[in-house]
Structure 1
Amino acid sequence: MSAESPASAALTAVLTEKFEIDPEHIRPDATLESLDLDSLALAELALALQEQLGVQVAEDEAAKHTTVAELTAALNAKYAAAGAR
């Protein structure tokens, strides 16, 4: 079993703690919209992730039709790039 990435851990933590989403619903193929996140919630999600990871989260990266896997991949890439500086 692979270790959870910092981005994945942060995303799961924000979704479960801030938005009270059941961890069972946080699947790689779940869209942010299917997790009942509206436009305001998506903005809050992006801000919370920026604070936790120290990377910018663009509006199109945390959009309604973005999947958990897509957002995690984008965050992992930014987090790794930020760490390489």
Structure 2
Amino acid sequence: MDTREIIETIDLNILGQVCPACLLVVLKALNDHEQRLRCGKTRLVVRTDHRDSTRTVPESARKMGYAALVKKVGSYYEISIGKKDDPA
């Protein structure tokens, strides 16, 4: 039997937005879901096509104590943010 917990994913689509709007939207989501993100029950997945966000968003999330991982998916980037000791 698989005993791993199912992690809820919050999808945040900010395609077409540019900084600083991208960062502000993500920071609001991090603050709104802070308890669930910090305990590891939730992961935030951000989709963006703004290249600067691949630097500013993970950097800010890490400064707030989260793990952040960026990967290129087709024509956009996906930034996964979650509990620090879990792979995002």
When the two structures are superposed, what TM-score results if normalisation uses the length of structure 1?
Answer: 0.35
Instruction: Say which one has the larger Rg.
Output: 2
Q: Which has the higher strand share?
A: 2
Q: Which has the higher helix share?
A: 1
When the two structures are superposed, what TM-score results if normalisation uses the length of structure 2?
Answer: 0.34
Task: Choose between structure 1 and 2 for higher RCO, CA contacts under 8 A separated by at least 6 residues.
Answer: 1
